[in-house]
Amino acid sequence: MTAPESAEPAAPSRTSWYEAIAVYLQPRVLIVMFLGFSSGLPLALSGSTLLVWMREAGVDLGTIGLFALVGTPYTLKFIWAPLVDALHVPGLTRLLGRRRGWLVFAQFLLIAAIVLLAFADPARSPFFVAIGALLVAATSATQDIVVDAFRVESLPESEQAAGMAGYVAAYRIGMLISTAGALFLVSAFEGTGLARGTAWMWGYITMAALVLIGTATALFATEPEQSARAERATGGESAFHRVTQAAIGAFSEFLARKDAAAVLAFVVLYKFTDAFSGTMTAPFVIDLGFSRNDYAAIVKGVGLAATLLGGFAGGFVANRYSLVASLWIGGLLQAIANLSFSWLALVGVNQYALAVAITAENFTSAIGTVIFVAYLSALCKSPLHTATQYALLTALAAVGRTYLSSGAGYVAKATGWPLFFVICVLVAIPSLLLLAWLQRRNHFATLGRTG
């Protein structure tokens, strides 16, 4: 849509398929992949899996609906991210380093929170369950803060895209284990003769034990050199000064950049087309006449496979092309994929058409996600406040998903399904215009090539 900017670095050299695959076997990439599994595992334990447990225990729907609020720590994690950037964990920081010490500490807290939730009784004390779920979400969000900073600081530019692709794939697998895997596990425990409540307890304890995969990975990894240098540079400063500098520095350093407001708007809007349509995908499929089981089978089967393949495809694109070219590819693909749902609305109840639409949406969304996170990683320049900046950027990126998409149902009701998904394509235009403007302003030339 725009001519290439003259100041942009030369396009990266073409890589062979062998080289593109080999990068995923690099030790640093594999470490990030296993940490991605550890990050994806706890999300459903305070979300969808917990809600199934509560409903089986007879908790009323009104109370269950309120449990959406326990996900608040994931959107507010930037508030305590400066503590992760600046404070030491007694003993662990000295032994393992700043990032690895916090990783192990957060994972121990996460294990304790999941075990606490395991001993809760949804039927007798929903309030206690809420406290346990909130602790799981808070410790999980803290783990995410550290893992994101560790990934950005430990991977060289040539491995960032592969690391993010592996992270996304492993994150999805972790979510699958804590949803379908946890439900199958609880059923298996019940099959041995355990009471339902006891089966749920042991199911959650097993999930807590799986967090140790991330702990073992953190112990096996090495401290990122960027983090070690930052720690040496600030080692003599007081804790209060380090926290203040991490909080203020993360904001002031970013806002002082050229075109900061446009960059922040682009961060909010890039995945908006995906979020706007995704909000209404499930109601659309049910409204069209598909059964709940049809939708679940295709999303968990075909959809998961498409997401994993899309993640690795996104890594390949980001590794093969410049950052700005990759953002164009991801932005256009995730917008155009919405037309597959317009086509499905015209075709009607057809499982093959549903599989095609879900595959297109999941595949392109994963490509866009990997490329977008590569961009967010490139924006975080200083190891003194990587965790804070990245947490802030991901919180901004969630604005489109959480708030801007809230009116999607009213739009669908007013326009009908075929036209609604056409509108989902059109809402991508502001982000693409911002992308073109930032490209003309040489924004991406200052970031270099990531992945």
- Assign 3-class secondary structure to the chain: CCCCCCCCCCCCCCCCHHHHHHHHHCHHHHHHHHHHHHHHCCHHHHCHHHHHHHHHCCCCHHHHHHHHHHHHHHHHHHHCHHHHHHCCCCCHHHHHCHHHHHHHHHHHHHHHHHHHHHCCCCCCCHHHHHHHHHHHHHHHHHHHHHHHHHHHHHCCHHHHHHHHHHHHHHHHHHHHHHHHHHHHHHHHHHHCCCCHHHHHHHHHHHHHHHCHHHHHHHHHCCCCHHHHHHHHHHCCCCHHHHHHHHHHHHHHHHHCCCCHHHHHHHHHHCCHHHHHHHHHHHHHHHHHCCCHHHHHHHHHHHHHHHHHHHHHHHHHHHHHCCHHHHHHHHHHHHHHCCHHHHHHHHHCCCHHHHHHHHHHHHHHHHHHHHHHHHHHHHHCCCCCCHHHHHHHHHHHHHHHHHCHHHHHHHHHHHHCHHHHHHHHHHCCHHHHHHHHHHHHCCCHHHCCCCC
Amino acid 266: pLDDT: 95
Looking up tokens 């911002």 gives 434
Looking at the predicted structure, is the pLDDT value of residue 97 above 50? yes
Amino acid 16: pLDDT: 54
Amino acid 59: pLDDT: 77
379: containing domain: 17-446
Is 181 contained in some domain?
A: yes
Q: Which of the residue ranges 30-39, 176-185, 195-204 would you say has the lowest mean pLDDT?
A: 176-185
The residue-averaged pLDDT of 194-201 equals 91
Looking at the predicted structure, is the pLDDT value of residue 447 above 60? yes
Query: Residue 393 maps to which CATH number?
Result: 1.20.1250.20
Does residue 340 contact residue 360 with C-beta atoms inside 8 Å?
Answer: yes
Does residue 345 contact residue 422 with C-beta atoms inside 8 Å?
Answer: no
The residue-averaged pLDDT of 380-385 equals 73
Amino acid 7: pLDDT: 41
Is 244 contained in some domain?
A: yes
Is 12 contained in some domain?
A: no
CA distance 321 to 11: 7
Which residues have CB under 8 Å from 236's CB, separation 6+?
A: none
How many structural domains is the chain composed of? 1
Reported as a pLDDT band with limits 50, 70 and 90, residue 1 is very low
Is 118 contained in some domain?
A: yes
Looking at the predicted structure, is the pLDDT value of residue 451 above 50? no
Amino acid 18: pLDDT: 55
Amino acid 394: pLDDT: 82
Is 91 contained in some domain?
A: yes
Amino acid 10: pLDDT: 42
Higher pLDDT, 3 or 185: 185
Looking at the predicted structure, is the pLDDT value of residue 428 above 90? yes
Looking at the predicted structure, is the pLDDT value of residue 194 above 60? yes
pLDDT > 90: percent of the chain: 33
Looking at the predicted structure, is the pLDDT value of residue 12 above 60? no
Amino acid 239: pLDDT: 67
> pLDDT by residue (tens digit) across 241-300?
677 777 776 777 777 788 889 999 999 999 989 888 876 776 788 788 877 567 767 766
> pLDDT by residue (tens digit) across 13-71?
445 555 656 666 788 889 999 999 999 999 889 887 888 888 788 877 667 766 767 87
Does residue 167 contact residue 35 with C-beta atoms inside 8 Å?
Answer: yes
Is 1 contained in some domain?
A: no
Is 11 contained in some domain?
A: no
Q: Which of the residue ranges 159-173, 200-214, 244-258 would you say has the lowest mean pLDDT?
A: 244-258
Amino acid 36: pLDDT: 93
Amino acid 11: pLDDT: 44
Looking at the predicted structure, is the pLDDT value of residue 114 above 90? yes
Share the mean pLDDT of the chain. Answer: 83
